[in-house]
Structure 1
Amino acid sequence: MSNEQKQSIPRATGLLIIAAENVNPNGDPDRESDPRQRSHDRRGYISGVSFKRKLRDLVELKKGPVWQHIKNGLGINNDDSFFILESRDRGFSDIKDASKAWRKVLELIDKKNDGSEVANKYWDARVFGATFLEKGEEAPQAGSGVAASDRKYIRTGVAQFGIAVSVAPVRIHRDTNTKKASAQESKDRGMAPLACRYVEHGIYCMPFFVNPSAALQSGCTCQDIALLLSLIKHAYPNTRSVARSHGLIEIRHAWYAEHGDGLGSFSEFEFIEKLTPRRKGENRETPSVSGIPLNDQYDVPNKMPDDFKSKLKNGKLYDLCVELPEWCKKIKGEDENAQ
Structure 2
Amino acid sequence: MNNSEILFIYDAKLCNPNGDPDDENRPRMDYERERNLVSDLRLKRYIRDYLEENGYEIFVTKPDGKTVNATDRLKLLIEKSNKKIDLNKFKEDDVSWLLSQLIDVRLFGATMPIKSDTAKGSSLVFTGPVQFNWGYSLNKVRLVDSNGITSHFSSERENSQGAMGKDYRVYYSLIAFHGIISASRAKHTMMSDGDIKLLEEAIIKAIPLQATRSKIGQYPRLFVRVEYKDNGFMIGDLRDCVEPDKVDELREIDDFKLDITRLSTVLRENANRINKVYFWQDEKLVTKSNGNEGRFDKLINLSDDMIQEIKY
State the TM-score, normalizing by the size of structure 2: 0.76
Q: What is the aligned partner in structure 2 of residue 176 from structure 1?
A: 148
Contact 2:40 2:135 in 1 (8 A): yes
Work out which structure has the larger RCO, using CA pairs closer than 8 Å and 6 or more positions apart in sequence: 1
Ranges in structure 2 where 5+ consecutive residues have no aligned partner: 79-84, 283-296, 298-306
Q: 1:120 aligns with which of 91, 100, 113?
A: 100
Q: What is the aligned partner in structure 2 of residue 313 from structure 1?
A: 274
Matches within 5 A, 1:98-117: 98-99=68-69, 101-102=72-73, 104=75, 109-114=87-92, 115-117=95-97
SS of residue in 2 equivalent to 1:317: strand
The CA RMSD over aligned residues, in Å, is: 3.1
Contact 2:155 2:163 in 1 (8 A): no
Contact 2:278 2:308 in 1 (8 A): no
Contact 1:118 1:125 in 2 (8 A): no
SS of residue in 1 equivalent to 2:196: helix
Distance in 2 between the 1:226 and 1:59 partners? 12
Closer, same or farther in 2 for the Cα pair 1:327/1:304, shift >3 Å?
Answer: closer
Contact 1:16 1:254 in 2 (8 A): yes
CA displacement at 1:111 relative to structure 2: 4.5
Closer, same or farther in 2 for the Cα pair 1:168/1:123, shift >3 Å?
Answer: same
Q: 1:288 aligns with which of 243, 249, 253?
A: 249
CA displacement at 1:180 relative to structure 2: 3.3
CA displacement at 1:20 relative to structure 2: 1.7
Contact 2:35 2:138 in 1 (8 A): yes
CA displacement at 1:309 relative to structure 2: 6.2
Contact 2:6 2:225 in 1 (8 A): yes
Structure 1 position 46 matched with structure 2 position 54? no
Equivalent position amino acid for 1:86 in 2:
V
CA displacement at 1:326 relative to structure 2: 6.5
Equivalent position amino acid for 2:59 in 1:
L
Q: What is the aligned partner in structure 2 of residue 267 from structure 1?
A: 235
SS of residue in 2 equivalent to 1:154: strand
Identity of aligned residues (%): 22
Contact 2:279 2:308 in 1 (8 A): no
CA displacement at 1:113 relative to structure 2: 4.3
Closer, same or farther in 2 for the Cα pair 1:311/1:268, shift >3 Å?
Answer: farther
Distance in 1 between the 2:164 and 2:142 partners? 21
Distance in 1 between the 2:131 and 2:243 partners? 22
CA displacement at 1:279 relative to structure 2: 4.6
Closer, same or farther in 2 for the Cα pair 1:21/1:328, shift >3 Å?
Answer: closer
Q: 1:209 aligns with which of 154, 157, 180?
A: 180
Closer, same or farther in 2 for the Cα pair 1:155/1:109, shift >3 Å?
Answer: farther
Ranges in structure 1 where 5+ consecutive residues have no aligned partner: 1-8, 62-66, 68-78, 330-339
